[in-house]
Each structure stands twice: as structure tokens, then as C-alpha cells.
């Protein structure tokens, strides 16, 4: 007799609750919150440093714009990462 087929949503739930210790995510939700706060602080420091790169940089204009674009990309990635960590911590608390 074969096992009954599970709907895809149930398969995902079971995979997330896997008893395999290799794939278990054993970080506390408080740790995830603190990582999110650290990422927020890094993002704030990058935002504060942005005008310094523009105004006081001794490099060529093209290189300064490249650095500004790189910093904006890093700021957005950091903000997204902090938000993702915060949502993961909230989900783990529930």
C-alpha cells in the first residue's frame, strides 16, 4: 500500500520541520534581532558617510559616482537584509 500524496504546501511545512540536524537552523530569535540591529547601524553609518564621499573625495568625478552607486547598493542590501532577519525572527517567535 502506497503513502497518500501530500499537497505541496504540506511538503514545504514538513521540509521546514525536518528532524535532520544538518539542516536545522539553531539561532535564537533574539540573536536574529541583534543582527538586524547591527545591520541597521551599518546602514545608518553608510548613509551618514555618503555626503563625505561626494564632497570631500579627491578622486575623479566618475570614480566618486561609482563609489556613491556602490554605497547606495550596499545600503539597500543592508536594509533588505535587516528586514529579512527581522521577519525571520518574528516568524520563529510565533
pTM of the model: 0.67
Residue 5: predicted pLDDT: 74
Which DSSP string do the residues of 27-88 spell out, in sequence order?
--HHHHHHHHHHHHHHHHHHHHHHHHHHHH--S-HHHHHHHHHHHHHHHHHHHHHHHHHHHH
Give per-residue pLDDT as tens, 15-61.
Answer: 555 555 565 667 788 888 999 999 999 999 999 999 988 888 788 98
Q: Identify the band that residue 14 occupies on the pLDDT scale cut at 50, 70 and 90.
A: low
Give per-residue pLDDT as tens, 68-81.
Answer: 999 999 999 999 99
- Whether residue 49 contacts residue 91, with contact meaning beta carbons closer than 8 Å, is answered with no
Amino acid at each position: 500500500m502506497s503513502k497518500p500524496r501530500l499537497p505541496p504546501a504540506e511538503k514545504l511545512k514538513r521540509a521546514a520541520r525536518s528532524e535532520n540536524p544538518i539542516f536545522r537552523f539553531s539561532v535564537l530569535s533574539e540573536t536574529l534581532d541583534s543582527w538586524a540591529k547591527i545591520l541597521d547601524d551599518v546602514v545608518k553609518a553608510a548613509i551618514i558617510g555618503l555626503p563625505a564621499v561626494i564632497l570631500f573625495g579627491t578622486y575623479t568625478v566618475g570614480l566618486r559616482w561609482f563609489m556613491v552607486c556602490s554605497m547606495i547598493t550596499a545600503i539597500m542590501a543592508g536594509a533588505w537584509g535587516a528586514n529579512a532577519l527581522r521577519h525571520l525572527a518574528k516568524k520563529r517567535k510565533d
